[in-house]
Structure 1
């Protein structure tokens, strides 16, 4: 649920709208699959729910696979007339990408590290050069070779040993986010026998370059709950357990401080954090508790010289503040303020350098980067002048430098990587995202930030982008996107794929609804627990505003969201179906009550602090009041495309499958409803960069077809 899909969206010449797909003959001759009804009585708190499609939970059942394949076949046949459009969209989106691209190199521990792509290849190549960029390239991994023979491949969490001789990394070939950790000798290319399955993929080296700390997952729930220590050459079954998190609402993890002095074991729930620390030079030592967990106390820690620096909500600092404490006195009573809490500024993160402290903040929804010298001789903000943009510190592993690397983008400005000299205040744009094809010019597009008024009087920010020349006559197609959970902010960033919509006359709108943290921590609090309904009504009220202001009309308005944003799609489809011509719900979390009552499902127990625990009657009743699956009713629904992955570990495939089956049974309209299941992928979809474009092309073709745009 938590993982998010980041959608890129788009269009060419504007055409007239069409409320239904054009080929009605197909609709009359090709019948959708009808799922068998096998009633399952689900009772809780004296309330009986009858789930006719509960049987779809069994992925080992041949009838379940058959049903999913019949849905796929129906989708393929019904959208066959859009295949050429899909192909054109794919070619168009691919043509904008610089295929032989590479990242801006960054230096770490004497080596320059680079990620690059080669023309025509799906996967990255990781390499490095010693001391100077003119040195000979060392290939660390060529993922194109590693991915051969796998329908899905993901390499993650590269961690180079302090002596630069070894690299640990995680591999997933199923898309269930159960990674196997391997270790490679960078001198010989040998893959060592040391191998650990069912992990998060990430691992941390002690300073001896022989000891590796990593995180194991519960094999059933996939909760990250154990930290183990592995010594190279020893059997992994003999690895020492250094920490186990027994509270099933918490997840454990491990990392190393930027100073390289400490190994940190963290354990976090949505609203509570706890850390243990160990000198990275003494891997056989005992981890020391930093401060005992306290319900509602959130914090993160960084090390600098004689102190730990703490970003925390301690003392009711809702928007967080910065504190510090001596390394030998880490209990709460020793924490003192460095940057006090501010009502109008959300403190998001810090980056520590030898001479500078860099603070990432958000004010009125906009990113701010503050630079402060430790000797207090300077304190200033980097200037940004766009109406709506996104900026933030980038890869800064080097501690002893005066160069801050940050990223900047907006809805009309391709992403750029900037090196900023914190002493001289000079900046150098190291790279701006290339947009090939010769048709893009940023001055041809316009972005705005609008403010809609919610039904309770709150102002809802909306970031929009469109090609110049549109008229506010109510005829513009709009794709409206939002997420709205976990305090995750959807920033107004640039997208090359989205140009395929904008160039065809679409407006793209991001609604910064409650449940996210765009306007500070309270904006998040007002969209969770018993306030969750605000997330849905904000989205609907933003739609009403765009319609009232003549940006669009219900015949031309489309909605899209994924994961928890898919929950949003399900809720608005139930609550305000008349406002949308089409909805795309990707890997949607729609069976909220049943999932949150099943603590064997991955991630469920860790979600209680977001949605509430339905084992408590009040939460159960509130969840049921908005749960899309439970609230499906006999009414008209918009045209809908629902996507999922058979191996999804975040939102299990059966949630969207059950939802579609129930919608088919109860909806009273003649609009299309499709379920597209990727039988070889999980929550993030296809793994290759070009395969992912094909999925976007399918989403866009669905919307464009509804709008009557065929090329």
Structure 2
């Protein structure tokens, strides 16, 4: 006897799936029912096994946690942002899990207040103390935080389980009392009427699709709420919000390929929603109401989108006039309108950009404006919180893999940038101690694939280093270069950290997304393998010391590349992993499925799509060969990717792979009170991250910090 703990063995229960002439036995499908005591017992046994197999990592986990905590300024303050008569901000307090949201009257501080993070500011009005709200709860998340236009009421929505269904509360800010908690089980977001007497919110259906918007009169029973709109096309989701000037309630409706926007006069909450332009299949657009103009970013004329303007009362796309035409390879992702300028959000060659356009007295752009300058090779730039339409300066946020998140004031007229706050990193952090660069791998079809890489300065590509490769690659979501305090625990142990910007994401424009979805989905997986090979071939990573990580659809990526090229990796972390994709996409009753058919295809109707997904879905393609060490993490209450997917995957991996599972364990860790995002308290989240990092470092043989 070795004394090693024995992994749980999930029972086999025959369950047959039959589609397109194929019968597939799925012996672990019984794990889907979280109300079954046997399922809970199995998950708890998996957690016990994971604890036993990783108990030797406790000192390393504690060290990583201490590093994250020690580098974080625990008592801190966001940059105060002015909206009407108040400065709004959030602050954190050492030892507390959640932020305190507060404000100070402009009458007390005419200019942006310079506040001491360690003291409750003089004149502060606490809007919401997350620590008090979360008292006694293992999980706490906000789905809405919305101050009324007059500034006298706060609407906020709370989830205490992780299932992303929220209870709505309204607080009177003068008294601090909750005056309305009648509405339960809503979706994300709210919008106020101008008078602050009505709230709009969304409800989700049984498949967790936001499909209704309701109007609630504050102080009345929820049974009296009025249904404003119901979306019966199951492909479409909805979101609710307000325009920058609070004049309009905006309803966004969208599938993966098509969108529609509707506006409501916020001064007339019982009025009718007006369609800006009726939906056209394959046409996506977004709107920014501003004064008498409606700014529209759309793809009617160019797949990388363009900017148009229309009268505020427009009801048809025929009223749109092109302002900035589309450009191949330059993805236009949004516009923000201010009294004298427009700010366009773009991405070019895998990097984000901001373009500022001055407006004439008639509200039309004058000239081509200017691009906000950035000097680093890889970076991310975006607008921050800018609620004021009449602003002459706007908040811009800039960061890179070595530069902590930095908040600037951008003078719209001159283009001048003034640094307001840079994320503090304690413990003597110096960006000069690290190096970042952009690499390009070559996919099997010859396509160049960008990689963002960061390491300790002085590391040379000599073929000896441990490495971590992160990827996502779905839904046109981009993983832009960002700064991470927890990542420093990798870098300071000599790990080279890289992000593979694979197809299916949006880094290189709409075409990049289209080339990694539906029938071209395999490009996502082969791109990632090509990036892994490039890191090894160029000497940045040793061939036997490469880790990989992905979450959600990135977890699907992890499962697929493991089946495709398990020999390339030493260890893999798959978080809330979408690894049983075909089973999920075949069941239209499950959350997300119907809307996902435009991302993956519809395997119910198409035998070709069924065969394609069958060929790559991770759970069904595990091979009897050696695999790396694997850590799968999930949350019992995850609505987006059910816990059953990683649970089934781990059970089948253990039965199939031929690698020595004493040396390369296959582990499942389930948070029993959490959802898709994991633990919510910041210290709890750091503990979770430190466990995952410690597991990877141990497998890479990179547990000792480098000498400085």
Which of 453, 476, 493 is matched with 1:487 structurally?
Answer: 476
Partner of 1:583: 572
Partner of 1:81: 56
How far, CA to CA, are the matches of 1:707 and 1:510 in structure 2? 18
Partner of 1:336: 321
Instruction: For residues 17-67 of structure 1, give each alpha carbon's deviation from its aligned partner in whole angstroms, at most 9, with x where no partner exists.
Output: xxxxxxxx86x6321111101110000111111101010001011111111
Which of 369, 374, 386 is matched with 1:384 structurally?
Answer: 374
Instruction: For residues 219-250 of structure 1, give each alpha carbon's deviation from its aligned partner in whole angstroms, at most 9, with x where no partner exists.
Output: x2111010000111221111000100111111
How far, CA to CA, are the matches of 1:357 and 1:252 in structure 2? 26
CA-CA distance at 1:193 after TM superposition? 3.0
How far, CA to CA, are the matches of 2:415 and 2:264 in structure 1? 37
Which is worse superposed, 518-527 or 265-274? 265-274
Secondary structure of 1:301's match? Answer: strand
How far, CA to CA, are the matches of 1:621 and 1:659 in structure 2? 20
| Runs of at least 5 residues in structure 2 that lack an aligned partner in the other structure | 114-121
CA-CA distance at 1:597 after TM superposition? 1.2
Partner of 2:397: 407
Partner of 1:260: 246
How far, CA to CA, are the matches of 1:240 and 1:363 in structure 2? 44
How far, CA to CA, are the matches of 1:318 and 1:585 in structure 2? 33
Secondary structure of 1:195's match? Answer: coil
Q: How does 1:473-484 map to 2 (within 5 A)?
A: 473-484=462-473
Which of 152, 161, 170 is matched with 1:183 structurally?
Answer: 170
Given that residues 298 and 312 in structure 1 are in contact (C-alpha distance below 8 angstroms), is that contact kept between their aligned partners in structure 2?
A: yes
Given that residues 181 and 201 in structure 1 are in contact (C-alpha distance below 8 angstroms), is that contact kept between their aligned partners in structure 2?
A: no
With structure 2 as the length reference, what TM-score do the two structures score? Answer: 0.95
Given that residues 183 and 195 in structure 1 are in contact (C-alpha distance below 8 angstroms), is that contact kept between their aligned partners in structure 2?
A: no
Partner of 2:78: 103
CA-CA distance at 1:279 after TM superposition? 1.1
Secondary structure of 1:618's match? Answer: helix
1:446 matched to 2:431: no
Which is worse superposed, 336-345 or 649-658? 336-345
How far, CA to CA, are the matches of 1:612 and 1:429 in structure 2? 46
Secondary structure of 2:282's match? Answer: coil
Structure 1 390/70 Cα, relative in aligned 2: closer, same or farther at 3 Å?
Answer: same
Q: Which has the higher contact order (CA 8 A, sep 6+)?
A: 1
Secondary structure of 1:358's match? Answer: strand
Given that residues 213 and 229 in structure 1 are in contact (C-alpha distance below 8 angstroms), is that contact kept between their aligned partners in structure 2?
A: yes
Given that residues 380 and 482 in structure 2 are in contact (C-alpha distance below 8 angstroms), is that contact kept between their aligned partners in structure 1?
A: yes
1:361 matched to 2:354: no
1:174 matched to 2:161: yes
Instruction: For residues 164-204 of structure 1, give each alpha carbon's deviation from its aligned partner in whole angstroms, at most 9, with x where no partner exists.
Output: 11110110000110011110000011111342111124210
Which of 681, 690, 704 is matched with 1:688 structurally?
Answer: 681
CA-CA distance at 1:377 after TM superposition? 4.7
Which is worse superposed, 408-417 or 599-608? 599-608
1:323 matched to 2:303: no
* Runs of 4+ that moved beyond 3 A: none
Which of 137, 141, 160 is matched with 2:147 structurally?
Answer: 160
How far, CA to CA, are the matches of 1:667 and 1:513 in structure 2? 27
Secondary structure of 1:555's match? Answer: coil
Partner of 1:224: 210
How far, CA to CA, are the matches of 1:656 and 1:344 in structure 2? 36
CA-CA distance at 1:585 after TM superposition? 0.4
Given that residues 169 and 201 in structure 1 are in contact (C-alpha distance below 8 angstroms), is that contact kept between their aligned partners in structure 2?
A: no
Partner of 1:554: 543
Given that residues 175 and 682 in structure 1 are in contact (C-alpha distance below 8 angstroms), is that contact kept between their aligned partners in structure 2?
A: yes
Instruction: For residues 319-371 of structure 1, give each alpha carbon's deviation from its aligned partner in whole angstroms, at most 9, with x where no partner exists.
Output: 00011221233212121101101013111111110000111111111221111
With structure 1 as the length reference, what TM-score do the two structures score? Answer: 0.95
1:435 matched to 2:425: yes
Partner of 2:358: 373
Which of 613, 616, 619 is matched with 2:602 structurally?
Answer: 613
Given that residues 194 and 235 in structure 1 are in contact (C-alpha distance below 8 angstroms), is that contact kept between their aligned partners in structure 2?
A: no
Given that residues 529 and 610 in structure 1 are in contact (C-alpha distance below 8 angstroms), is that contact kept between their aligned partners in structure 2?
A: yes
How far, CA to CA, are the matches of 1:688 and 1:456 in structure 2? 44
Which of 37, 41, 45 is matched with 2:20 structurally?
Answer: 45
Which of 243, 256, 260 is matched with 1:274 structurally?
Answer: 260
Q: How does 1:625-640 map to 2 (within 5 A)?
A: 625-640=615-630
Secondary structure of 2:263's match? Answer: strand
Which of 125, 128, 136 is matched with 1:138 structurally?
Answer: 125
Secondary structure of 2:620's match? Answer: coil
1:701 matched to 2:691: no
Given that residues 417 and 431 in structure 1 are in contact (C-alpha distance below 8 angstroms), is that contact kept between their aligned partners in structure 2?
A: yes
Given that residues 643 and 656 in structure 1 are in contact (C-alpha distance below 8 angstroms), is that contact kept between their aligned partners in structure 2?
A: yes
Q: How does 1:242-257 map to 2 (within 5 A)?
A: 242-257=228-243
Which is worse superposed, 113-122 or 129-138? 129-138
How far, CA to CA, are the matches of 2:18 and 2:623 in structure 1? 20
Secondary structure of 1:465's match? Answer: strand
How far, CA to CA, are the matches of 2:390 and 2:31 in structure 1? 56
Structure 1 377/592 Cα, relative in aligned 2: closer, same or farther at 3 Å?
Answer: closer
Partner of 2:180: 193
CA-CA distance at 1:626 after TM superposition? 0.5
Which of 470, 485, 503 is matched with 2:492 structurally?
Answer: 503
Instruction: For residues 458-497 of structure 1, give each alpha carbon's deviation from its aligned partner in whole angstroms, at most 9, with x where no partner exists.
Output: 0010000000121322110000001100000001111111
Q: How does 1:14-25 map to 2 (within 5 A)?
A: none
Secondary structure of 2:76's match? Answer: coil
Given that residues 38 and 55 in structure 1 are in contact (C-alpha distance below 8 angstroms), is that contact kept between their aligned partners in structure 2?
A: yes
How far, CA to CA, are the matches of 2:238 and 2:142 in structure 1? 21
Given that residues 468 and 495 in structure 2 are in contact (C-alpha distance below 8 angstroms), is that contact kept between their aligned partners in structure 1?
A: yes
How far, CA to CA, are the matches of 2:87 and 2:190 in structure 1? 21
How far, CA to CA, are the matches of 2:543 and 2:170 in structure 1? 55
- Give the root-mean-square deviation of aligned CA atoms: 1.2
Given that residues 357 and 371 in structure 1 are in contact (C-alpha distance below 8 angstroms), is that contact kept between their aligned partners in structure 2?
A: yes
Which of 513, 531, 555 is matched with 1:524 structurally?
Answer: 513
Instruction: For residues 349-396 of structure 1, give each alpha carbon's deviation from its aligned partner in whole angstroms, at most 9, with x where no partner exists.
Output: 111100001111111112211111112456111111211111011111
